[in-house]
Structure 1
């Protein structure tokens, strides 16, 4: 199931990919024009993910931020939930260094960050996913704004987790 929001006036693009057996992003061969940031969540068992031709273990329930220029493919993409968006949809460059599209989540670490939410955070993200899906059923002139707010909440939640796990106290 792919849920897609596009605004032709601003070139804003946001989508949620769920249960898609063909989901990948091959930046250098197929998707070079799409400048999409990705937050991928592994809802299945531990699996392999290949990022720029390097194979990693993608732990169960882990969340992984991926850059616009990274190629990736999953061993079992049907168990992945992915939020993808471009800068025209969401980027708070002038407002906040931590949660913008050039903030900590996407540029805060030189290593690949596999972020592991605890049970409480997993429940929050699951509930947020339901709200996202519900919002895609609401077709009105302010749908894009609501989706941006929900995405900001997701980014804040995942950024907090990433900082706890990747920045020494």
Structure 2
């Protein structure tokens, strides 16, 4: 299945697919696309950034254009693929508040698990989406954006509910979201929690206390994981040398980067690259 809307004037694209055909598989290689993948029928094993994960039945995963996906040609899932031109996550952040919760360059893209009521809700929304593709008129694109926005808002509410605790007010949850957004934007040049604390007008200790309270990864871990993820992507999917990657990730000394990488992964950058291609 592949239902597609394209506007050649602004180069916007919006697709609903199950990746069972070659044109849909090509979408996985298209740059600049966000992907929402839902295992609506059974457990499905998919590849993300060189690693396999099992997406269990009634789970949804949210991937940015940075995530490299490998999805098999088999039944069991349905996905939405859209680009920035169709719906800009950053520009519409105030409307849906999904940037930093659903979409950020995490080493583990966010996954939500749907209960029976949520599943019925998403089934209805996807059914309406499929119906809208039959309407070939001048407002089709806008209708699809409205439906996508509804899916994003519902998903954002669910992930907030999973993160939320009765003792954590929404203002503190928003700090976590903003922290994730800032790390995604600045991780190449800012490697210290203090840098982000300053931008949020908080102290590093305040951030650490908040993240501990939520049971989430500590602020420094989030920075290190993001740097590490980018390093792995560049080693796996580019021809850049370890030295070039080190400089791209803000390390003035490539040896410092190599020591950081080996401490976290257990292999030097060169050995990691060799292992993945042998």
Query: Does TM-score exceed 0.5, indicating one fold?
Result: yes
Q: What are structure 2's unaligned runs of at least 5 residues?
A: 169-278
SS of match in other structure, 2:81: strand
| Aligned ranges 1:45-56 → 2 under 5 Å | 45-56=42-53
- Structure with the bigger RCO (C-alpha within 8 Å, sep 6+) is 1
Moved more, 49-58 or 17-26: 17-26
Instruction: Say if 2:36 is the partner of 1:39.
Output: yes
- State the aligned residue count: 165
Separation of aligned partners in 2, 1:163 and 1:25: 32
| Aligned ranges 1:115-126 → 2 under 5 Å | 115-126=112-123
Does the CA-based 8 Å contact 2:19-2:72 persist in structure 1? no
Correspondence for 2:111 among 108, 111, 114: 114
SS of match in other structure, 1:105: coil
Correspondence for 1:163 among 160, 163, 169: 160
Displacement of 1:7 after TM fit?
A: 0.4
Give the alignment's TM-score, normalised by structure 1: 0.85
Does the CA-based 8 Å contact 1:45-1:60 persist in structure 2? yes
Displacement of 1:19 after TM fit?
A: 6.3
Does the CA-based 8 Å contact 1:19-1:79 persist in structure 2? no
Q: CA RMSD in A?
A: 2.5
User: Who wins on radius of gyration, i.e. which is larger?
Assistant: 2
Does the CA-based 8 Å contact 1:98-1:104 persist in structure 2? no
Does the CA-based 8 Å contact 1:5-1:144 persist in structure 2? yes
Q: What are structure 1's unaligned runs of at least 5 residues?
A: none
Does the CA-based 8 Å contact 2:44-2:77 persist in structure 1? no
Higher helix share: 2
Separation of aligned partners in 1, 2:52 and 2:89: 32
Name the residue aligned to 2:77: 80
Give the alignment's TM-score, normalised by structure 2: 0.54
Q: 1:8-35 CA distances to partner (integer Å, 9 max, x unpaired)?
A: 11111000003625554686xxx2x531
Higher strand share: 1
Decide whether aligned partners of structure 1 residues 74 and 44 sit closer, same or farther in structure 2, where only a CA change above 3 A counts: farther
After TM superposition, the runs of 4+ consecutive aligned structure 1 residues lying more than 4 A away are 21-27
Name the residue aligned to 1:71: 68
